[in-house]
């Protein structure tokens, strides 16, 4: 600045320079494996004045960050084969400690896919994709993440109730296997326990999920449908 002053710059020149710097678009990296969702996000955010780079997986994201230098990354949790969005978030934070993080996912909370909530990086926003209908919420979450000031209004995993909210981690794991169509014998084999123990665990899991086992009909089908509605189609691990 002093050098510029010596070259004849006046105060109004400095204010113009500062104003131009303030108007520099925030760079946002979008990591989303669904092409239509990725294109929609890109279009919406560019219309809001953000500078966008969009990729489909963790490997592409790591390459893009080297040249794009994003201020904020928007991450889906399930990215197909390879590292998940949560894995990628930790990788990005190691490489770029100041990067803001926004998870945008259909998953109501990470526990339903076997990840503890405490594994969500500090000051990361967590929004469900159905909130994309209100573009203002996503814009506000990006701005909050860029300032490292994410409030609870941007943590849907902690504030939005769903059918599996009161189900424990072990019960969620059993419900996942039920949704995969496994029998109690197969679940017992996977968990290294007895069929009787699985029967008790399944009963408690159904109760915690609000599945009525006394009414006519197949409770396993109801429980599987409920798990899939909340968490999506399960995959073996």
Over residues 121-136, mean pLDDT: 83
Residue 13 banded pLDDT, cuts 50, 70, 90: low
Domain 169-231 indexed as CATH 1.10.10: yes
Is the model's pLDDT at 55 over the cut of 90? yes
User: Which residues neighbour 43 within 8 Å (Cβ) at sequence distance 6 or greater?
Assistant: none
- pLDDT tens-place string over residues 88-101: 999 999 988 889 99
Q: What CATH number belongs to 21-159?
A: 3.40.50.2300
Over residues 44-49, mean pLDDT: 90
Is the model's pLDDT at 10 over the cut of 80? no
Q: Half-sphere exposure (CA, 13 Å, Cβ side) for 33?
A: 15
Instruction: Work out the mean pLDDT of the chain and round it to a whole number.
Output: 81
Enumerate the domain spans of the chain: 21-159, 169-231
Look at the block and give the residue holding tokens 């409030």: 151
- Tell me how far CA of residue 47 lies from CA of 27, 69, 122, 134, 196, in angstroms: 13, 20, 29, 14, 57
Q: Which two tokens stand for residue 146?
A: 């860029």
- Tell me how far CA of residue 170 lies from CA of 90, 118, 145, 165, in angstroms: 25, 16, 32, 13
Is the model's pLDDT at 161 over the cut of 80? no
SS3 assignment, position 71: coil
Is the model's pLDDT at 162 over the cut of 80? no
pLDDT at 12: 55
């Amino acid at each position: 600045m002093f050098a510029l002053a010596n070259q004849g710059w006046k105060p109004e020149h400095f204010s113009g320079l500062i104003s131009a710097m303030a108007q520099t678009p925030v760079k946002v990296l979008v990591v989303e494996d669904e092409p239509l969702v990725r294109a929609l996000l890109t279009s919406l955010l560019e219309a809001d004045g953000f500078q966008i780079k969009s990729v489909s997986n963790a490997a592409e994201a790591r390459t893009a960050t080297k040249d794009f230098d994003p201020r904020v990354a928007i991450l889906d949790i399930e990215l197909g084969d390879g590292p998940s969005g949560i894995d990628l978030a930790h990788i990005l934070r190691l490489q770029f400690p100041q990067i803001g993080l926004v998870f945008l996912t259909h998953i109501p909370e990470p526990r339903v896919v076997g990840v503890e909530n405490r594994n969500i990086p500090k000051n990361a926003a967590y929004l469900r994709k159905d909130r994309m209908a209100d573009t203002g919420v996503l814009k506000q979450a990006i701005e909050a993440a860029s300032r490292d000031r994410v409030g609870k209004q941007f943590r849907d995993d902690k504030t939005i109730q769903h059918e599996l909210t009161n189900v424990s981690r072990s019960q969620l794991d059993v419900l996942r296997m039920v949704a995969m169509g496994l029998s109690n014998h197969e679940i017992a084999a996977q968990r290294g326990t007895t069929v009787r123990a699985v029967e008790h665990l399944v009963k408690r899991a159904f109760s915690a999920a609000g599945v009525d086992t006394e009414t006519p009909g197949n409770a396993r089908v109801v429980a599987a449908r409920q798990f899939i509605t909340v968490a999506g189609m399960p995959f073996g691990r």
